[in-house]
Amino acid sequence: MATTREFGIVVYGASGYTGRLVCEYLNKQYGVNGDVVWAMAGRSREKLEAVRDEMGIPDTVPLVVADASDYSSIVAMVERAHVVLTTVGPYQLYGSDVVKACAAAGTDYVDLCGEPTWMHDMIAAHQDAAKASGARIVFSCGFDSIPFDLGVYFLQQTAKQTLGAPVSRVKGRVRVMKGTFSGGTLASFKATMAAAAEKPELVGVLMNAFALTEGFTGPEQPPGMAPVYEDDLDSWSAPFVMATINTKNIHRSNYLLAHQYGEDFVYDEMLLTGPGEQGEAIAKAVAEDKSMANDPRQPGEGPSKEERENGLYDVLFVGSNAAGERVMVSVKGDRDPGYGSTSKMIAESAVCLLENPDLASGGIWTPAAAMGSSLITRLQDNAGLTFAVE
């Protein structure tokens, strides 16, 4: 990777809803004349100027005009940056050329992708180029999948310390989630469903927990598609909408970490709804809920500042081994998952790569495999996340 670039981080999509929040966070956390030199990028200079003024960001923060439909402008943008942070989704519509350009130029890359079929294609297309150039391409640096990917990583580090070895079975269980999914997440979900309808072979990728492990297939995984009562947690569990992407990322992390969690590793992810008849009724209602497919929100739309700041989440991870020994950890966030917390997580991921050029070699990574404990420390210090042993 080039040693001197004009910018540390370029925020591509800075005039969009989530991009604005990222810029607001970088400005508040790192200022404009500190160690992190950052710029705002998007299609329209006028929009970027308006957002910069609106957010109270100093006019010394540079603006870069780049458009997903103009590849030369994307190349020019990535060649000026050490790290490109992109919030421009759905990525299957607007992200492919950004990944291609970063992989070619040796520019690090972070996004908020929850689109496994596109990620599968990008790994196949650009892994070799990224390895050759030294570009560290890290997908899924938001609510999908950082709390889950790093939660399992943290649990396995804890298991090594307390039990002497990682555990082969981990359950991810969402205890509390207050806040909405972003318009961008909904758009990505709909674009993925539309693509699968057009190309039925993509359904196999969506259904396969090992779709991102490049030929490795582990043991059969729990389907997680129906309500179930869990004796060990004294609670009903319901299907969790983000499980489809998170499970794939976690298995990819294990694969990239040379199977530190074991080749027999089993993981599933569900939403805890409580005990008794009430818990069962909630679990069944969640399982039957199809509102996400019909949600009218668009990318760029989102909750008010008050709603973001009143949001939170709490995810429990329960690990067990063949001897029946258990280890439990939790990951909690202090803002709504889709926006307030996500914007801080992706910003810290970009800064983590920028400030740690030796953390990983070139290639296409997950947050846990590329940044692991370094990112956990940053998120706890700066971004309102808590990783705790229970």
First vs last C-alpha separation in the chain = 41
Residue 227 pLDDT? 96
User: What backbone phi and psi angles, to 5 degrees, belong to 295?
Assistant: -65, 125
Classify residue 8 by its DSSP letter: E
- Percent of the chain with pLDDT strictly greater than 70: 97
**What is the pLDDT confidence band of residue 3, given thresholds at 50, 70 and 90?**
low
Domain ranges within the chain, ordered by starting residue: 7-142+341-372, 146-336
Q: Over the stretch 99-112, which tens digit does the pLDDT of each residue have?
A: 999 999 999 999 99
Q: Which whole number is the average pLDDT over 219-247?
A: 94
Residue 181 pLDDT? 66
Q: Which whole number is the average pLDDT over 30-55?
A: 92
From 225, 168, 181, 119, select the one nearest 342 (Cα to Cα). 181
Question: Rounded to 10 degrees, what is the CA torsion of 99, 376, 341, 271?
Answer: 100
Whether pLDDT at 2 is above 50: no
Token output for 374: 């370094």
Task: Please tell me which residue, 156 or 303, carries the higher pLDDT value.
Answer: 156
* 170 neighbors 317 (Cβ within 8 angstroms): yes
Strands 326-333 and 108-110: unpaired
**What is the pLDDT confidence band of residue 1, given thresholds at 50, 70 and 90?**
very low
Whether pLDDT at 77 is above 50: yes
Topology (CATH level 3) of domain 7-142+341-372: Rossmann fold (3.40.50)
* 10 neighbors 85 (Cβ within 8 angstroms): yes
Whether pLDDT at 173 is above 50: yes
- Percent of the chain with pLDDT strictly greater than 90: 82
Q: Considering the chain, what is the average pLDDT of its residues?
A: 93
Q: Over the stretch 15-39, which tens digit does the pLDDT of each residue have?
A: 999 999 999 999 999 987 678 999 9
* 16 neighbors 88 (Cβ within 8 angstroms): yes
Q: Over the stretch 300-358, which tens digit does the pLDDT of each residue have?
A: 677 788 888 888 999 999 999 999 999 999 999 999 998 899 999 999 999 999 999 99
Residue 212 pLDDT? 96
Residue 310 pLDDT? 86
Q: Over the stretch 247-272, which tens digit does the pLDDT of each residue have?
A: 999 999 999 999 999 999 999 999 99
